[in-house]
């Protein structure tokens, strides 16, 4: 059946889920979030809290795609420690494409070995359980497969984003297209993503915005009042497709160093980025005007983002955060699957330094008012799951 809007599709979906089952009682476990990155934790946090506020007891199953920043992220967003690890945690998680096969094999072995226990845990009250995945990482796809293997329904938050090319971004576009074939309930951020899912099976619900908007509000509520600081440009460049292209990575860092004479820039770099800078001999580009700093935890990063003069990034998640905050932002990618802010405060450079230069010459004209208070997608997700009897 084609993808459909909430009414009447979700009611039919709920009827299928709830027939011949007993009512939910407090403490029943019906929902498992399968996530594996800090970005996924950030975006599911407000959904988790909205569901928990209904009296349900959702759990987090973690695949350890990221591990180094996980404790800080959990603490910052008020999330519990993962109830179950689906892969053996390492000090830093995945840092290179070559690590993916071994990591995936480890998840497969643990899932097969523990599948009876996991299935019993999900179905403790005799009702169909729900596995929730997010976004477009390897965890999104593997989590959808695990949900199916355990006999659970699968819901996908941030469903329906498409770039139009399987090769860009790689592997995200393939992950989300494959996951869409396994999902029963698609939570799409806007009408555009709903349209992308028109041929998908299952029910499609338009949440009207990405849950990152709720995550920003949640983090701002939990942080201390930020002190005023220097206004700088923020840089985050971390994607494999950029780091694995030495000429492109060198080109953009060199261009940013030249621009730092006009506006101080801060590059928040994780381990893989710093290692790549060392391998390519680019350390000489950084000084008191173009500063290399470790990645900041989320509650520290948000005040920096809110004060930023501009942002240059290859992160789709940061594109959305800037779109909602109205901060001028250049996306250093060939394509983006996200449309939020494009033509307004967001500029897609196509990985062209000339396009980046044009943005930097006139970035202030791209500033827009904040839209933080306009949408509440996590609440809509929780209300939908409540209507279906999950919370």
- Is residue 14 scored above 50 in pLDDT? no
CA dist., res. 78 & res. 84, Å (int): 17
CB atoms within 10 A of CB 229: 9
Domain range summary for the chain, segments of one domain joined by +: 6-209+376-387, 221-366
Provide CB contacts within 8 A for 171, sequence distance 6+.
138
Average the pLDDT over each of 46-60, 78-92, 318-332 and give the range with the smallest value.
Answer: 78-92
Mean model confidence pLDDT for the chain: 89
What average pLDDT does range 223-234 have in this prediction?
72
Cα–Cα dist 98/361, whole Å:
39
Q: What is the model's pLDDT at position 221?
A: 84
Cα(324)–Cα(270) distance, rounded to whole angstroms?
Answer: 25
Task: Report whether pLDDT(17) > 50.
Answer: no
Taking a C-beta distance cutoff of 8 angstroms, is the pair 347, 322 a contact? no
Instruction: Tell me the pLDDT tens digit for each residue of 166-186.
Output: 887 778 999 999 999 999 999
Write the CATH number of the domain with boundaries 6-209+376-387. 3.40.50.2000
CATH architecture of 221-366: 3-Layer(aba) Sandwich (3.40)
Same fold, 6-209+376-387 and 221-366: yes
- 56-79 pLDDT tens trace: 899 999 999 988 789 999 999 999
Handedness of CA 304, 305, 308, 310 (dihedral sign): positive
Reference 337, options 164, 174, 153, 154; nearest CA is 164
pTM, to two decimals:
0.81
Helix and strand totals (H; E) in the chain: 15, 13
Tell me, what's the pLDDT at 20? 31
Report the distance separating Cα 196 and Cα 270, nearest Å: 33
- Tell me the pLDDT band of 337, cut-offs 50, 70 and 90: confident
Using one digit for the tens of pLDDT, what is the confidence trace for 234-290?
999 999 889 999 999 999 999 999 999 999 999 999 989 999 999 999 999 999 999
* pLDDT beyond 60 at 18: no
pLDDT digits (tens, 9 = 90+) for 134-150: 999 999 999 999 999 99
**What percentage of the chain has pLDDT greater than the value 90?**
71
- Whole-number Å distance between alpha carbons of 65 and 63: 6
Q: Decide if 135 contacts 157 (C-beta within 8 A).
A: yes
- Give the pLDDT mean for 145-164: 95
- Rounded distance between C-alpha atoms, residue 41 and residue 118, angstroms: 21
Using the predicted structure, report yes or no on whether residue 390 has a pLDDT greater than 90.
no
């Amino acid at each position: 059946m084609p993808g459909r809007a909430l009414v009447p599709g979700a009611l039919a979906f709920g009827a299928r889920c709830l027939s011949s089952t007993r009512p939910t009682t407090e403490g029943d476990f019906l929902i498992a979030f399968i996530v594996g990155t800090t970005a996924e934790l950030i975006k599911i946090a407000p959904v988790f809290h909205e569901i928990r506020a209904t009296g349900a007891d959702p759990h987090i199953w973690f695949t350890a795609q990221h591990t180094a920043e996980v404790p800080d992220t959990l603490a910052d967003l008020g999330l519990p420690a993962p109830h179950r690890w689906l892969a053996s945690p390492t000090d830093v998680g995945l840092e290179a494409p070559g690590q993916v096969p071994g990591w995936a094999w480890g998840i497969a072995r643990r899932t097969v070995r523990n599948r009876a226990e996991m299935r019993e845990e999900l179905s403790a009250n005799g009702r169909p359980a729900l596995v929730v995945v997010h976004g477009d990482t390897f965890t999104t796809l593997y989590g959808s497969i695990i949900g199916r293997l355990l006999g659970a329904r699968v819901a996908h938050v941030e469903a329906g984003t498409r770039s139009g090319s399987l090769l860009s971004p790689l592997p995200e576009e393939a992950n989300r297209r494959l996951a869409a074939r396994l999902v029963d309930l698609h939570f799409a951020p806007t009408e555009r993503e709903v349209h992308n899912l028109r041929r998908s099976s299952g029910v499609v619900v338009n949440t009207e915005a990405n849950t990152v908007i709720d995550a920003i509000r949640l983090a701002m509520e939990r942080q201390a009042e930020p002190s005023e600081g220097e206004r700088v440009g923020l840089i985050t460049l971390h994607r494999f497709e950029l780091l694995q292209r030495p000429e492109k990575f060198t080109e953009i860092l060199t261009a940013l160093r030249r621009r730092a004479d006009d506006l101080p820039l801060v590059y928040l770099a994780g381990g893989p980025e710093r290692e790549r800078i060392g391998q390519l001999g680019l350390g000489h580009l950084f000084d008191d005007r173009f500063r290399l700093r470790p990645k900041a935890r989320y509650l520290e990063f948000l005040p920096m983002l809110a004060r930023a003069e501009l942002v240059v990034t290859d992160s789709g998640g940061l594109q959305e955060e800037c779109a909602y905050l109205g901060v001028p932002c250049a996306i250093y990618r060939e394509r983006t699957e996200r449309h939020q802010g494009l033509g307004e405060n967001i500029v897609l450079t196509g990985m062209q330094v000339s396009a980046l230069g044009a943005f930097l010459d006139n970035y202030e004209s791209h500033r827009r008012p904040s839209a933080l208070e306009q949408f509440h997608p996590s609440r809509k997700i929780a209300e939908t799951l409540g209507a279906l009897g999950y919370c």
